[in-house]
Amino acid sequence: MSRRLLPLLILLPVLAGAPTMAAETAKVLTPAQKQALDIRVGAAQAAQYLPLDGLPARVGMPLGGSAVVTAPYEGVVVELLAREGQTVQRGQPLARIRSREALALGAELAAAQGEFRVARAQAERDRQLLAEGIIPAARAQADEARRAAAAARLQGLQAARAMAPAGAAPGVYELRAPIAGRVLERTLQLGEPVATFAKAYVLAAGDRVMLELRVPARDAAALRTGLPVRAEGGGEGRVDEIGGAVDPASQSVRVRAEVDGGHLLVGQQTRATLLLPAPAGALRVPSDAVLEREGHARVYVVRDGGYLAVPVQRLAQTTAGESVISGPLVAGDSLVVRGAARLDAMPAGGQ
């Protein structure tokens, strides 16, 4: 016996006992069967994005168009003029505070005005004496510096004095809105003390908020600014910031996006969807069109006068009932979008 035939003879029993892989054949249905199975057909659409659904997110203040109002002097809150959620105009009074420091502003302002007048007169005399060569330049420069310092102190005290509302009791000053917008937060309480530079109000222009998402580290390579983001229940925006490190505990990357506020409140925990760029050839189909069996996915495509099972890979699935798939399909291909599971249970040939 030829040695070349020996390996073939050894393999023949093995091949004879191996199961044969029959090629998929199209399932052909009669009109009555289609109606009974409630078969509906739709077209696959090109997928522009790959949605990451259900990402944990926290609502925060927007980076742009927001302002924090602080109390320049310690004191006691005597009036609250703006509430949380209220829309205010620039310069509108927010609260009134009685302060011992504000009470002393009158005396300090009078003293500062006197100091400025003296310093200004001295500086003017020195400029004249310097021009006549009577005094050195260093003396004139020193007096000019004292005049500038006195002017700066006077200007600051005048600005502080301007915080006092007309007709108010001595020692009362107002906090006013630095921008037009919505009051997101008020920390002041009527009759309660307030410390110097303590946060009193937080304002935001418009209705936008900052959404902070946690994106799995495996998807970090696909992140870039400008990607669309959708908050749960409404609110859309685009990625503004991408973290440069992975959180060790959650193995996620922090991503921030400014979105329409709508019903979202600062500090709220919610869910969001991030739309990553879809790979070339990816298609968007209803999730009911994709069947899973033993870890493999497939769809039924209209072909050869019937419905042919075609293997695909499910890349993403959303809570909105859509899936992104890849496989030997192109945009526009007709496939079963309803009744696929019932069709799959029928024997080959559809009879």
* Same domain assignment for residues 165 and 268: no
* Same domain assignment for residues 214 and 251: yes
Query: Is 4 contained in some domain?
Result: no
Counted domains in the chain: 4
pLDDT recorded at residue 93: 93
One-letter-per-residue 3-state SS of the chain? CCCCCHHHHHHHHHHHHCCCCCCCCCECCCHHHHHHHCCEEEECEECCEEEEEEEEEEEECCCCCEEEEECCCCEEEEEECCCCCCEECCCCEEEEEECHHHHCHHHHHHHHHHHHHHHHHHHHHHHHHHHCCCCCHHHHHHHHHHHHHHHHHHHHHHHHHCCCCCCCCCCEEEEECCCCEEEEEECCCCCCEECCCCEEEEEECCCEEEEEEEEEHHHHHHCCCCCEEEECCCCEEEEEEEEEEEECCCCEEEEEEEEECCCCCCCCEEEEEEEEECCCCCEEEEHHHCEEECCEEEEEEEECCEEEEEEEEEEEECCCCEEEEECCCCCCCEEEEECHHHHHCCCCCCC
Query: Is 349 contained in some domain?
Result: no
User: What CATH number is associated with residue 231?
Assistant: 2.40.30.170
Query: Is 9 contained in some domain?
Result: no
Single residue among 205, 224, 253 that ends a domain in this structure: 205
Q: Judge if pTM exceeds 0.85.
A: no
Query: Is 141 contained in some domain?
Result: yes
Write out the residue range of the structural domain in which residue 235 sits: 52-64+208-276
Query: Is 148 contained in some domain?
Result: yes
* Same domain assignment for residues 272 and 217: yes
User: What CATH number is associated with residue 198?
Assistant: 2.40.50.100
* Same domain assignment for residues 85 and 180: yes
* Same domain assignment for residues 314 and 192: no
User: What CATH number is associated with residue 313?
Assistant: 2.40.420.20
Rounded average pLDDT per 10-residue block, the chain, 351 residues: 39 38 71 88 91 90 85 91 91 90 63 73 79 79 81 66 58 88 91 93 85 91 91 86 91 91 83 90 92 89 89 86 91 91 76 51
Query: Is 235 contained in some domain?
Result: yes
pLDDT recorded at residue 240: 92
